[in-house]
């Protein structure tokens, strides 16, 4: 046992000593690594200090040389590459509505911030991001340079004159020719004036022609990216005539080009040539991915120059698609605002000469645009009331004749052809136009398309709230759906759409009560089919349009009730009908042909019935 105890104690002492040894060893390693790392850090700091000092001296020497020659030749290709001795420098100029960021890399605009407009993310709208302007210059010894890769060494922010701010970028080529990019922005202007000054243009440019390459991109600003992409397009003036492309991706210009712009729903980026581009072509496309990008365009534009010292006056417009603002930029540039094109071009005069002036008149003394839309609606209904009165009178006459039509229907039973002929005879005797009630519907077609174009492109409605709508230029949302309903309905429910549909149903029901009984199932359910169609069409339209339609329907109901109850005398109408029945009548060509057609159909039906028997 003593032996065992000694062994046990020895083992315990051994384990204890081993643990202490490991602790001491770990401490030594920790101290060693800590001290070594400290020495290494101090050594690295010392080496960095030496390196920085050396690079600083070298950089100063290179910058001094770069002022004379900021590029170096690549003898293998005849082109040039930049020496990274001049750093990119961003300079900003701003007026009361825009802030413009310029870069000495290429001496050009790199971004423009619109101070009065915010995007769907509540950030200020930015245009010109990721865009660039470029052209090639000859710098001597069969060498060329791309201007957007040149870091201009001279940047002059000039004193403002009458509020006009100016900045100038200058670069002298190795052959001693000077290129200047001069920019200026004036108060209350969205455009940036750009003058390209070439001293030695006859040697800088090949064949006396500047080949300008404009690469421009647009990004989402509104709530619905897909719709904003859909309405994006390219607008331009070719031969002093406005044109645009939306479905095509390539355009070759055959006439001089005055301006060209990449357009989105409410904003555009446009390049204007005050002397006109002699030729060019463009390639553009809409984005198809899930990014915030909308579209991109690459335009190649040429301009002829003469002389050794030339100035090429250009202007860059970064701003809203405001009709009056665009009109002041360049001829026909206001047509960027889509007031009616192609199939709907017939509504442009309605918008330009009626709806827009009236809208602007009401907006001049009413601050809330929802009430402006209401006043515009009342104005339209008052102007069209003389035409709609005849339709209401026609409906009243048909209501008076309804008992007689019911008797004819009861007498002829299922004989549809016979009933149609007797109905036409009764209408002719009474002097009733059965198509008179179609006038309001026909009037709604051009007015609807005119307002559809107007409300979709009117930037003054953008961001304007009214009742439950947060933006009259877009659809209102009272409920968000967890899924997307097909056929254009979307993933939301618009309350203004519901009010427009409900009031449309009420009008249809009222009109059905004013017309003779229709046993044709298609005609019987037609008043309800149209409002259901409106539900899918209207749910993604601007709330200003659905609000207009709601107000218009309410005014229609009120006018119909007032005219039918207080203006039209049904007894007098019945007496007039009796007088007209006694008056000899001459059938119109249309009535004669219609009766012949109905008579022929009746004979065919009689033969079929006889054959069945």
User: What is the count of structural domains for the chain?
Assistant: 3
Grade residue 67 by pLDDT with cuts at 50, 70 and 90: very low
Which pLDDT does position 486 carry in this prediction?
75
Domain closes at, from 337, 370, 392: 337
Domain match, 495 and 430 both: yes
- Residue partners of 267: CB distance under 8 A and separation at least 6: 114, 117, 125, 127, 218, 221, 319, 320, 321
Please check whether residue 602 lies inside any domain of the structure.
no
Domain match, 40 and 163 both: no
Whether 564 shows a pLDDT value over 90: the answer reads no
Domain match, 87 and 153 both: yes
Higher pLDDT, 410 or 359: 359
Which pLDDT does position 403 carry in this prediction?
74
Q: Is residue 287 classed as helix, strand or coil in its secondary structure?
A: coil
Whether 336 shows a pLDDT value over 80: the answer reads yes
Whether 488 shows a pLDDT value over 70: the answer reads no
Higher pLDDT, 384 or 456: 456
Higher pLDDT, 18 or 444: 444
- Residue partners of 443: CB distance under 8 A and separation at least 6: 384, 387, 388
Please check whether residue 327 lies inside any domain of the structure.
yes
For residues 267 and 275, the answer to whether their CB atoms sit within 8 Å is no
- Pure H helices in 67-124: none
Which pLDDT does position 514 carry in this prediction?
60
Whether 7 shows a pLDDT value over 50: the answer reads no
Grade residue 439 by pLDDT with cuts at 50, 70 and 90: low
Please check whether residue 611 lies inside any domain of the structure.
no
Grade residue 130 by pLDDT with cuts at 50, 70 and 90: confident
Q: Which residue is listed with tokens 């990014």? A: 291
Please check whether residue 595 lies inside any domain of the structure.
no
Whether 282 shows a pLDDT value over 90: the answer reads yes
Whether 113 shows a pLDDT value over 90: the answer reads yes
Domain match, 84 and 56 both: no
Domain match, 385 and 307 both: no
**Rounded to an integer, what distance in angstroms lies between the CA atom of residue 610 and that of residue 58?**
112
Please check whether residue 465 lies inside any domain of the structure.
yes
Mean pLDDT over residues 171-198, rounded?
A: 93
Give which of 453, 430, 481, 263 is closest to 350, Cα–Cα: 453
Whether 409 shows a pLDDT value over 80: the answer reads no
Q: Is residue 553 classed as helix, strand or coil in its secondary structure?
A: helix
**Highest-scoring range by mean pLDDT, 212-221, 426-435, 520-529:** 212-221
Higher pLDDT, 57 or 345: 345
Quick one: what percent of the chain has pLDDT higher than 90?
Answer: 38
Whether 285 shows a pLDDT value over 80: the answer reads yes
Domain match, 309 and 266 both: yes
Indicate the range of 46-55, 120-129, 436-445, 455-464 predicted with least confidence: 46-55
Domain match, 260 and 404 both: no
Which pLDDT does position 490 carry in this prediction?
75
Whether 62 shows a pLDDT value over 80: the answer reads no
Residue 32 is part of which domain span?
Answer: 1-66
pLDDT tens column, 201-213 = 888 988 889 999 9
**Rounded to an integer, what distance in angstroms lies between the CA atom of residue 579 and that of residue 528?**
37
Which pLDDT does position 429 carry in this prediction?
67
Which pLDDT does position 335 carry in this prediction?
94
Indicate the range of 62-76, 169-183, 399-413 predicted with least confidence: 62-76
pLDDT tens column, 583-604 = 665 555 656 666 666 666 666 6
**Rounded to an integer, what distance in angstroms lies between the CA atom of residue 269 and that of residue 316?**
7
Higher pLDDT, 142 or 32: 142
Grade residue 307 by pLDDT with cuts at 50, 70 and 90: confident
Phi, psi at residue 5, to the nearest 5°? Answer: -65, -40
Q: Is residue 221 classed as helix, strand or coil in its secondary structure?
A: coil
Please check whether residue 49 lies inside any domain of the structure.
yes
Q: Which residue is listed with tokens 């004989």? A: 415
Which pLDDT does position 280 carry in this prediction?
92
Which pLDDT does position 163 carry in this prediction?
87
Rg of the Cα trace of the chain?
Answer: 39
Indicate the range of 64-78, 150-164, 473-487, 537-551 predicted with least confidence: 64-78
Give me the chain's average pLDDT, please. Answer: 78
Higher pLDDT, 409 or 473: 473
What's the predicted TM-score (pTM) here?
0.74
Please check whether residue 265 lies inside any domain of the structure.
yes
Domain match, 436 and 515 both: yes
**Rounded to an integer, what distance in angstroms lies between the CA atom of residue 51 and that of residue 595?**
104
Which pLDDT does position 9 carry in this prediction?
36
Classify residue 499 by burial, with Cβ atoms within 10 Å: 0-12, 13-18, 19+. middle
Give which of 216, 435, 244, 208 is closest to 339, Cα–Cα: 244
Whether 386 shows a pLDDT value over 80: the answer reads no
User: What length does the chain have?
Assistant: 613
Which pLDDT does position 558 carry in this prediction?
86
For residues 114 and 181, the answer to whether their CB atoms sit within 8 Å is no
Domain match, 107 and 246 both: yes
- Report in angstroms the alpha-carbon separations of 377 from 22, 47, 275, 372, 472: 92, 78, 44, 9, 15
Domain match, 397 and 329 both: no
Domain closes at, from 284, 313, 337: 337
- Complete DSSP assignment for 131-171: -EEE-EEEEETTEEEEGGG-B-SEEEEEEEETTEEEEEEEE
Which pLDDT does position 189 carry in this prediction?
94
Which pLDDT does position 430 carry in this prediction?
66
**Rounded to an integer, what distance in angstroms lies between the CA atom of residue 182 and that of residue 40?**
52
Which pLDDT does position 248 carry in this prediction?
85
Which pLDDT does position 197 carry in this prediction?
94
Mean pLDDT over residues 56-69, rounded?
A: 40
Domain match, 511 and 388 both: yes
CATH code at position 204: 2.70.98.90
DSSP H or E run through 235:
strand 233-238
Which pLDDT does position 143 carry in this prediction?
86
Q: Is residue 258 classed as helix, strand or coil in its secondary structure?
A: strand
Which pLDDT does position 105 carry in this prediction?
93
Classify residue 128 by burial, with Cβ atoms within 10 Å: 0-12, 13-18, 19+. buried
Which pLDDT does position 425 carry in this prediction?
72
Domain match, 3 and 113 both: no
Domain closes at, from 66, 93, 119: 66
Please check whether residue 343 lies inside any domain of the structure.
no
Whether 324 shows a pLDDT value over 80: the answer reads yes
Number of H helices, E strands in the chain: 14, 24
């Amino acid at each position: 046992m003593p032996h065992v105890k000694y062994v046990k104690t020895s083992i315990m002492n051994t384990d204890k000593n081993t643990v202490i040894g490991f602790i001491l060893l770990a401490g030594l390693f920790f101290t060693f690594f800590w001290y070594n790392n400290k020495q290494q850090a101090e050594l690295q700091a010392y080496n960095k200090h030496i390196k920085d000092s050396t690079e600083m001296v070298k950089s100063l020497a290179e910058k001094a040389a770069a002022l004379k020659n900021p590029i170096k030749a690549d003898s293998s290709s005849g082109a040039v590459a930049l020496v990274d001795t001049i750093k990119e420098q961003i300079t900003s100029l701003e007026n009361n509505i825009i802030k413009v960021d310029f870069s000495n890399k290429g001496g050009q605009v790199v971004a423009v911030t619109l101070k009065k407009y915010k995007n769907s993310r509540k950030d200020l709208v930015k245009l010109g991001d990721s865009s660039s302007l470029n052209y090639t210059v000859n710098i001597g010894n069969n060498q060329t340079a791309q201007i957007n890769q040149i870091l201009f060494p001279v940047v002059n922010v000039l004193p403002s004159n009458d509020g006009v701010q100016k900045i100038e970028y200058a670069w002298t080529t190795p052959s001693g020719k000077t290129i200047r990019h001069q920019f200026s922005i004036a108060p209350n202007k969205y455009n940036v004036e750009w003058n390209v000054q070439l001293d030695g243009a006859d040697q800088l440019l090949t064949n006396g022609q500047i080949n300008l390459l404009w690469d421009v991109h647009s990004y989402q600003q509104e709530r619905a990216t897909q719709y904003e992409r859909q309405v994006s397009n390219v607008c331009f003036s070719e031969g002093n005539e406005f044109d645009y492309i939306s479905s095509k991706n390539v355009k070759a210009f055959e006439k001089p080009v005055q301006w060209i712009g990449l357009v989105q729903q409410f904003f555009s980026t446009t390049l204007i040539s005050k002397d006109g581009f002699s030729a060019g072509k463009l390639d553009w496309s809409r984005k198809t991915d899930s990014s915030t990008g909308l579209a991109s365009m690459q335009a190649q534009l040429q301009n002829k120059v003469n002389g050794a010292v030339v100035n090429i006056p250009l202007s860059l417009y970064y701003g809203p698609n405001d009709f009056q603002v665009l009109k002041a930029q360049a001829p026909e540039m206001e047509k960027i605002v889509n007031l009616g094109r192609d199939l709907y071009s017939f509504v442009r005069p309605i918008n330009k000469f009626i709806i827009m002036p009236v809208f602007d008149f009401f907006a001049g003394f009413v601050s809330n645009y929802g009430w402006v839309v209401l006043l515009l609606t009342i104005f339209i209904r008052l102007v069209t009331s003389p035409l709609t009165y005849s339709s209401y009178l026609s409906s009243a006459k048909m209501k008076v004749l309804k008992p007689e039509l019911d008797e004819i229907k009861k007498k002829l039973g299922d004989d549809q052809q016979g009933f149609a002929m007797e109905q036409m005879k009764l209408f002719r005797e009474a002097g009733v136009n059965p198509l008179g009630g179609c006038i309001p519907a026909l009037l709604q077609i051009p007015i609807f398309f005119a307002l559809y174009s107007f409300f979709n492109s009117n930037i003054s409605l953008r961001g304007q709230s009214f009742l439950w709508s947060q933006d009259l230029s877009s659809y209102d949302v009272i409920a968000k759906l967890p899924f997307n309903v097909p056929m254009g309905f979307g993933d939301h429910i618009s309350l203004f759409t519901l009010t427009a549909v409900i009031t449309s149903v009420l009008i249809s029901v009222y009109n059905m009560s004013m017309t003779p009984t229709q046993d044709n199932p298609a005609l019987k359910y037609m008043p309800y089919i149209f409002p259901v169609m409106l539900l899918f069409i209207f749910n993604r339209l601007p709330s200003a349009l659905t609000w207009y339609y709601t107000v218009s329907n309410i005014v229609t109901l009120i006018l119909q009730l007032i005219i039918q109850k207080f203006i039209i005398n049904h007894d007098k109408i019945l007496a007039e009908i009796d007088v007209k029945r006694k008056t000899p009548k001459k059938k119109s060509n249309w009535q004669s042909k219609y009766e012949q057609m109905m008579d022929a159909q009746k004979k065919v039906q009689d033969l079929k019935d006889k054959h069945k028997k």
